Copies of this chain bind each other. A is one copy, B any other.
Amino acid sequence: MTVLALTGGVGGAKLALGLAKLLPPGDVVFVVNTGDDFEHLGLHISPDVDTLTYTLAEVANPATGWGRQDETWRFMEALERFGGETWFRLGDADLALHLRRRTLMAEGLGLTATTELIAKSLGVRHPILPMSDDPVRTRVLTPDGPLAFQHYFVRDRCKPTAVGFEFDGAAAARPNPAIPFESLEAVVICPSNPYVSVDPILAVNGMREALAATGAPIVAVSPIVGGRAIKGPTAKMMRELGVPATTTEVARHYAGLASHFVVDEVDAEAAPDVGALGMSTTVAQTVMTSLDDRVQLAKTVVDLIR
């Protein structure tokens, strides 16, 4: 079987690691949001691709959710002295990935080929596929105008009010040609932010239709637990968009696409409402603190599929 797991940042990467621990490389393929990507200091930064790469390589920083463990910051300190931009933190070792990516892309490789080489050199064996090799850039619409995603997310710390989202380039972007649509046994929508992690993937031209056309079950795992997001601005965005920050609303967001929905134990009472949206519902522990939690949730999802 091939499971296609759609993932964005930290939460998605946690379940991805569980899936990678559970399934051999041939059985699971990760498709990653690149709407967060941006050019910075002349480098191509691909935050979600990097978070997944570092997570699967088991060199991710567990405290921050981004960057590498045991990181040092000499470059950043020196850059500050030179008057450079320091709002986006790049550690000394992390920077090597970005410079390496820059060199490879300047040699003509796409983001996919570059990601593969980098992941391989870190010992990652499971395929990590950027959603597209064509540029897609998420913009957060605010009352004061659109904000490039990293400006909203990192520089402005998610403080601006989100009234909507745009995925520049998505309509012209082609799904990553390496996605094995024809042999999919299931699709997993990892517990990532529905608006800025999963929606950009689905917005890639033809992606949503191609996923639906496979006929494979599509299992979404709720990123909202007890009315809150484990990490990140999902709940805040939902309130700003005028919808309740509940797991049921996340399910509604995926209605018509997902066939299965996994809610957390603390949201067990929402199961009937989710069921009413036309999805089979599973109650499980979705909060992943330990590695074992990650593997357990992956097991729940895989059992569901089978």
Contacts and interface: CB of A to CB of B under 8 A. Distances in A.
Interface of A: 41-42, 72, 74-79, 81-85, 91-97, 99-100, 102-103, 106, 117-118, 121-122
Copies of this chain per assembly: 2
B100 A84 contact: yes
A157 to B, nearest CB: 23
A38 to B, nearest CB: 14
Given A42-B42, A75-B75, A92-B92, A100 B118 contact: no
Contacts of A106: 42
A82 B42 CA distance: 19
A94 B77 CA distance: 11
Contacts of A94: 78
A96 B83 contact: no
A10 to B, nearest CB: 21
A5 B174 CA distance: 58
Contact of A75 (B42, B77, B93, B117): B93
Given A42-B42, A72-B72, A74-B72, A82 B96 contact: yes
A92 B93 CA distance: 9
A118 B143 CA distance: 38
User: Across chains A and B, which 8 residue pairs bring their CB atoms closest together, nearest first?
Assistant: A78-B96, A74-B92, A78-B93, A79-B96, A82-B100, A92-B92, A84-B100, A75-B92
B84 A96 contact: yes
B99 A84 contact: yes
Given A78-B96, A82-B96, A82-B100, 18 more contacts: A41-B102, A42-B42, A42-B102, A42-B103, A72-B72, A72-B74, A72-B92, A74-B74, A74-B92, A75-B92, A75-B93, A75-B96, A75-B99, A78-B97, A79-B100, A81-B96, A81-B122, A82-B117
A121 B74 contact: no
A76 B42 CA distance: 18
Contacts of A100: 79, 82-84
Contacts of A81: 96, 121-122
A74 B59 CA distance: 14
Contacts of A82: 96-97, 100, 117-118, 121-122
A25 to B, nearest CB: 20
Contact of A93 (B74, B83, B96, B122): B74
A219 B82 CA distance: 35
A74 B73 CA distance: 9
Nearest to A78: B96
A185 to B, nearest CB: 33
Nearest to A120: B83
A244 B235 CA distance: 78
- In this complex, the member of A77, A79, A96 whose beta carbon has the largest number of chain B beta carbons within 10 angstroms is A96
